[in-house]
Amino acid sequence: MRKIKEVLRLKWERGLSNRQVAAACGISRPTVSEYLRRAAEAELGWPLPEDLSEAQLEQRLFPPPPDLPAQARGIPDWKRIHDELRGKNVTLFLLWQEYREANPDGYQYSWFCEHYRAWQGKLDLVMRQDHRAGEKLFVDYAGHTVPVIDRTTGEIHEAQVFVAVMGASNYTYAEATWSQTLPDWIGSHIRAFEFLGGVPELVVPDYVPGHIIRIMFPIPLCSVHFRRP
């Protein structure tokens, strides 16, 4: 479900810029502009009618395309899409937007994702890793930060995202902190262990400067903070 109502509220009620709205909703600025353009064409204003649901709003701004044959809709180049997903800041949603720009009568985002996953499932499998339950906890910071907007000033602060994943079950804990400094790094581990209700046999971090004090093949020795009783 698109975040159309929230986009319109932040823009028309709060008066945020398109960039601030995009950051708050986790979408791109062109998407914000597209929502606003469609809302203006639909002659909508703020506040929206009370009986207008999110689903009705989306259907009004994004009516379903006519029933066209697949050739007219355009079949995505899944190999190219798969390759482009390796790029930084490239998402399926972004590639779908590009696909729809080139194919205005093309398929919806849900169809796009479903068929890409189906195509991806036909690729050759890579090396499989087997993990015992409770054995390993993989920890790292996400590659991207999360914008946090101050309600009063509109100022945007970037938060770091710590992620911990159990190897066997993929059971995941994530939290945002203001930095990757040692206090935040250790604190995130403590809260992850509390969330999991225990401590795994091994904690497997990615390389984080300052947290790894020595590398000895094949076992990395971690900061003394992890060895304190």
pLDDT of 195 above 80: yes
> Which alpha helices (DSSP H) does the chain contain, by range?
4-8, 18-25, 29-41, 54-61, 70-73, 78-84, 92-102, 109-120, 182-196
DSSP 87: S
> Closest Cα to residue 175, out of 192, 162, 193, 191?
162
Q: Flag whether the pTM goes above 0.75.
A: no
Helix (H), strand (E) counts: the chain: 9, 7
pLDDT of 183 above 70: yes
| pLDDT one-digit tens code per residue, 48-78 | 888 888 888 888 888 765 555 555 567 888 8
Domain ranges of the chain: 1-63, 66-126, 136-226
| pLDDT one-digit tens code per residue, 65-118 | 555 555 556 788 888 998 888 877 788 999 998 888 888 777 888 888 888 988
